[in-house]
A and B are shown apart, each in its own frame.
Chain A
Amino acid sequence: MIDFKNVTKIYGGEVKAVDDITMSVNEGEFVILLGPSGCGKTTLLRMVNQLETITDGEINVNGQNVKEMDKIKMRRNIGYVIQSNGLFPNMTIEKNTMIVPDLLGWDRKKKRDRFNYLMDLIGLNPDEYRKRYPHELSGGQQQRIGVARAMASDPPVMLMDEPFGALDPIIREKVQDEFLTIQKEVKKTILFVSHDIDEAVKMGDKISLLRQGQIMQYASPTEMLHRPKNDFVSEFIGKDRVLRSMSLYTVNDLVEALGLKSKEEDIQDTKEITIDTSLRVALSMLLNKEADELLITDDQGEAHGSLTFDLIETFINREVRGA
């Protein structure tokens, strides 16, 4: 869907921000551009919708060279979200969200229906927020509106530049989860910039790890965590890669591999969690001594047994380290 062929960007004849990058993003894939500050992520992203010119090489979206497309038209057909949300202070939330449909000349009824649908999708009451202005919303709400605006005309491709970077950690987790749920429903092709390895592992189908404008590794999170291609990659992933990889698994994966224990009678300190909780969350609950055992239930509320620290350790040794 998005193909980079030997793409290079040189600013002002000197700064090589992107250096001969070749990679493909398939339809419906969620790809993270990951790397330290200044490695060229934003530049690479902005060449796709031609906010930056391409010095060398070519980028094709849907088989069409972006250089040959009409800039204005193609931008209206590609969702774009930035870190500082970029909402227009002078417009109400409804106007902001519906700006692209407006530019495309949709009629009022269609715009209103779309607004209501999108607000439901991002979990905000359409009638409550319709007439408000951006400054009346919290940072997290503004960011969600930024995402809704980018999805307004239902573009097949979305470009997102650290969209959740400005949010505090707890809200960020929440908005990330929401967005993943939305993505499951809408299945967009997404190119997503992040400098946060945890975010990348959690969100991406694939991660493209960049350094000084070059790709160090382009692989799925599991692949990258288990088989880092070089020292830069393993260093970037860090020592707690095992812990990191836990967010790739849910309790259900452990149940399928090892089964659960039956609840021990003498343990008092227990807590209930559902089977689709991520193992990372489960592990941190145990480590934080929120409980000695976790009682696992499915979405019907039926008990499946209990999860202990030892079980997780066994799982790590078998599945994660051994892989």
Chain B
Amino acid sequence: MIDFFNYVQNDWDNIFAYTMEHLQLVSLAIVIAILIGVPLGIYLTTNKYLAETVLQVASIILTIPSIALFGIMIPILSIINQGIGFLPALIALVLYSQLPIIRNTYTAIQNVDPNIRDAAKGIGMTTFQRLTRVEIPNGMPLIMAGIRTATVLNIGIGAIAAFIGSGGLGVLINSGISRGNSNMVLAGAVFVSLLALVADFILKFIQKRVTSPGVK
């Protein structure tokens, strides 16, 4: 244990740099995933047939082991000389985030009380006003829950992405294993968990800020 703390203290600059790298990859992936997943989830509520297909595809993506997904992307992205590194890791994380984000957004909008939707229509809101003033605000807790799940998921998978050279805390784990340095592996694991905890805490705080007190 003392060893571990000594290691962390001595190697702090490296650990901090890897954590920041990790954070950068995951945040960018989540932002892109939200920009794709939330509008898609909302759109799917207008097309039940497409919704089933898309949700199924997203579930299947989530079951592909991450190592395999990286393997598939290497030859494809090699065409543009990006077979390994940041880009394939980013794409993988965006893909993995889609299921929780799309599914939760879709469910959140679908679950809005039909009476409330009816009232919104009946008093003369346009489709867009209904969405922004009623459906999204009332579905906010579920939408945010999806984003939080995706974030925690991404922080974990982000560690595996180090295998294809995307950097981040996975590097500590990888080189720790190959050098037989258990403190290094432990540090990688601990900081991945810490990052996930802090990220979830911050997102919970954001969720509170963006959800109306009238919505439980």
Contacts and interface: CB of A to CB of B under 8 A. Distances in A.
Interface of A: 49, 51, 71-77, 80, 82, 84-92, 99-100, 103, 133-135, 149-150
Contacts of B119: 80, 82, 85-88
Interface in B127-152: 129, 133-134, 137-138, 140
16 contacts: A51-B121, A72-B124, A73-B124, A74-B124, A82-B118, A82-B119, A84-B113, A86-B118, A86-B119, A87-B116, A88-B134, A89-B215, A90-B140, A90-B212, A91-B212, A149-B123
Nearest to A88: B134
Nearest to B213: A133
Contacts of A92: 214
A90 B134 contact: yes
Given A86-B118, A89-B116, 9 more contacts: A51-B121, A76-B123, A87-B116, A89-B214, A89-B215, A91-B133, A91-B212, A92-B214, A103-B129
A51 B214 CA distance: 27
Given A133-B213, A133-B214, A134-B214, A88 B124 contact: no
Contacts of A149: 123
Contacts of A134: 214
B122 A80 contact: yes
B144 to A, nearest CB: 14
Interface residues of B, number: 23
B125 interface: yes
Nearest to B212: A90
A72 B128 CA distance: 12
B32 interface: no
A97 to B, nearest CB: 11
